[in-house]
Structure 1
Amino acid sequence: MKKKESSDHISTLLGVGTTIEGTLSFKDTIRLDGAVSGKIVSEKGTVIIGERAVVEAHIHVGTAIVKGTVNGHIQAGERIDVYPPAKITGDIQAPVISIETGVFFNGNCSMVKPQPMPVERKAIETTRDEKKSG
C-alpha cells in the first residue's frame, strides 16, 4: 500500500529558483522546491521538500515529507516520510519513520518523539514579571 505523499492543502509554496536564508516558520503545510539555509520550524505543520529542493537547515516540524536534498537534522513530532530521489545527510528523529528504497541516507535515526520546541525565555520572564506586579 502506497503511503500518502502529500498533504491535502499546501498553504505556502517556495518555488524553484527561490532562495531563503534564516529562520522559516510556518503553520499548516509548506512545499519547498527552492533553496533554504538556516532553520525550518513549525510546531505541528508539515514540510514537503520537493525533488529539486536543496535544504541546509535544522528542521523541527510536525511532519516531514522529503524527496529532495537535505543537509542537516530533521526532527518531527509525528512522522518523517522519505521518498526517492531524496538525499539526507544528517540525523533524523520522529516516532514514525518511513524510508523507501532508492533513498540516500547518511546519519543516525532515532524513533522517539522529539522534545517540544522551547518557549522563548523572554516571553516566560515577561509573564512572571506581570504576575509579580499584578
Structure 2
Amino acid sequence: MAKDDINAFMGAGTFFTGKLNFQGTVRIDGEFLGEIESDGVLLVGKDSKIEGTINVGEMSLSGNFAGDVIAKRNVTIHRDGILKGKIKTPALIVEDGAVLDGTIQMTKSAVEEQEIL
C-alpha cells in the first residue's frame, strides 16, 4: 500500500482517547484508548498501543492491541503484533512470532456475523 493511499495518520508519540470513525485507510502509530469504527482498513504500526473496541472492514496489526475486534473481511497479526482479546472475522492470518491471547470466532460472512451478535 502506497503512503498516498492512507487517509489519516496518527504518529508515534501521540495519544488519543475517544471514538474514531473513518473512511478509507487509517494508520495509527501512537496510543489510542476508545472505539474505532469503519468499513475501511486500520493499520496498526509496530510502536502503537491500542485499547478498546474495533469494528472495521480489515485490520493489520503490527503493534499492541487489547480489547475486542470485529473485522468484516480479515485480520492480519504480523510477527511484531500482540493481540489480547476477542476476534470475530471471516479470515485470520497470524504470522510466525505474533502473539494472540484470546478467543477467535470465525464466520463466513458479515451477515452470519450479525446473526451471532
* Contact 1:7 1:29 (C-alpha < 8 Å) held by counterparts: no
Larger fraction in strand: 2
Could you tell me how far 1:7 is from its partner in structure 2? 6.6
Task: Report SS of the residue matched to 1:115.
Answer: helix
Structure 1 residue 57 displacement after superposition: 1.4
Q: Which residue of 2 aligns with 1:33?
A: 29
Q: Secondary structure at the match of 1:52?
A: coil
- 2:18 aligns to what? 22
SS of residue paired to 1:51: coil
Superposition TM-score, scaled by structure 2 size: 0.89
Q: Unpaired segments of 5 or more residues in structure 1?
A: 1-5, 117-134
Relative to 1, partners in 2 of residues 1:7 and 1:39: Cα closer, same or farther, differing over 3 Å? farther
Q: What residue in structure 1 maps to residue 85 of structure 2? A: 90
The two structures have a TM-score, normalised by structure 1, of 0.78
Give me the identity figure in percent: 28
Larger Rg: 1
Gaps of 5+ in 2: none
Q: Which amino acid aligns with 1:68?
A: G
- Give the root-mean-square deviation of aligned CA atoms: 1.5
- Given candidates 64, 67, 72, the residue that maps to 2:59 is 64
**Hey, which bits of structure 1, 4+ residues long, moved more than 4 A?**
none
Task: Confirm or deny that 1:48 pairs with 2:43.
Answer: yes
